[in-house]
Amino acid sequence: MENLALIESFSEFKDDKMIDRVTLMAILEDVFRSALKRKYGDDDNFDIIINPDKGDLEIWRNRVVVADGEVEEDNSEISLTEARKIEPDYEVGEDVAEEVKLVQLGRRAILALRQNLIAKIHEHDNTNIYKHFKELEGELYSAEVHHIRHRAIILLDDEGNEIIMPKDRQISSDFFRKGENVRGVIESVELRGNKPNIILSRTSPKFLEKLFEQEIPEVFDGLITVKAVVREPGEKAKVAVDSYDDRIDPVGACVGVKGSRIHGIVRELGNENIDVINYTTNTQLFIARALSPAKIVSMEINEEDKKVEVRLNPEEVSKAIGRRGHNIRLAGKLTGYDIDVIREGAEEDVELTEFSDEFEDWVIAEFKKIGLDTAKSVLEHDIDDLAKRTDLEVETIEEIVNILKSEFED
């Protein structure tokens, strides 16, 4: 048999770490049958015998002997005269098996055959990679920075698999150099064409949950359960934890003595401020805990609309809202309620909307973004602090403050 490059290459495919012998033989047969279909129109009457260990290949075409001049289908029938050139004792109606040499397929067909084989092997590898990483979705994973682009970082794992971490899946304070190891969670895996697209995320709440599992033994062992995680990546996060063992303080176990246990997680997340709170099925208590460190006077819950009005003393309002509104937004996400803060004594206050004739709507909206919706709530804050927390100029804020102060001078 001809010692063609295609046959010589069988062993290199067999040794591929992602493919076994049985699968390789199936791929090889599929590739050869495709080539036979292109040349003969059909491959049903062909037998293919492959021995990839030795690099042997045999292709046999089976045809029925018919009388001379009665051949209607060249691929499945052979005339008696042609059959007796193979074996002189053939008779009409008998089956003839004739070996097809690879050279009979033609040089171009053989080159295409090899390219098709390589493509099938790669497709098989990519399918295996896809299945492997699909099972890892939501799990911690680490890989090395290979290339830094404007919109994404390209990572390679120990097996040489390419993993992408887009810019919006990176924490704002993240800064990585080529060759540095990066941890995240496998957020999604999709096949684009035949190539798996693997996305790593450091901004996913799942990343924080998995860090808890890795860093806190009681969470890993199932003694403490992470019930919910909400994040504003790089800024603040809230984690609700619970334990079915009354002897275990879930918050204390997660935080550790003087924050010793959670410190590594905070550092991994670029000093993200993490509030760990006790989970409870008592809605009112859960909302109160979620708004910590603010102390609540009272609240009214509307279960139908999933809204809650929380009343606080004026000095507690800024604590509930938090820096740039992080605390109240995360509390809402954690509990599933739209939280509205009401200041005690607000009857003596004036809603900012009452000043719509003097302030533009977008100015009022800027204050509302940080939880300030009344005149007194604005006046409680320093002008420089308001300038840092909004997109308003100092001069504009000074003018607004003067107008608000005049409202109460009488």
Residue 47: how many other CB atoms lie within 10 Å: 13
Spatial distance between the Cα atoms of 168 and 152, rounded to a whole number of angstroms? 8
Give the HSE-up count for residue 6: Cα atoms under 13 Å, Cβ half-sphere.
22
Distance CA 341, CA 299 (A): 9
Residues in the chain: 410
pLDDT exceeding 70 applies to what percent of the chain? 91
**pTM for the full predicted model:** 0.65
Question: 283-304, pLDDT tens digit by residue?
Answer: 999 999 999 898 998 999 999 9
204-279 belongs to which CATH class? alpha beta
How far is the C-alpha of 275 from the C-alpha of 289, rounded, in Å? Answer: 10
State the chain's maximal CA–CA distance in angstroms: 125
Q: Are 184 and 169 in contact (CB under 8 A)?
A: yes
Stronger pLDDT, 365 or 287, i.e. the higher one: 287
Q: What is the CATH number of domain 5-131?
A: 3.30.1480.10
Single-letter amino acid, residue 4? L
CATH numeric code, 139-201? 2.40.50.140
Q: Which two tokens stand for residue 399?
A: 């003018």
Higher confidence at residue 188 or residue 19?
188
What is the structure's pLDDT at 55? 57
| Contact in structure between 217 and 248 (CB atoms under 8 Å) | no
102 vs 274 pLDDT, higher one? 274
Q: How far apart are CA 195 and CA 200, in angstroms?
A: 16
Least confident among 93-102, 139-148, 254-263? 93-102
Beta bridge partners of 59: 48
At how many degrees (to 10) do helices 283-290 and 326-335 cross?
A: 150
**How far from chain centre, in Å, is Cα 30?**
34
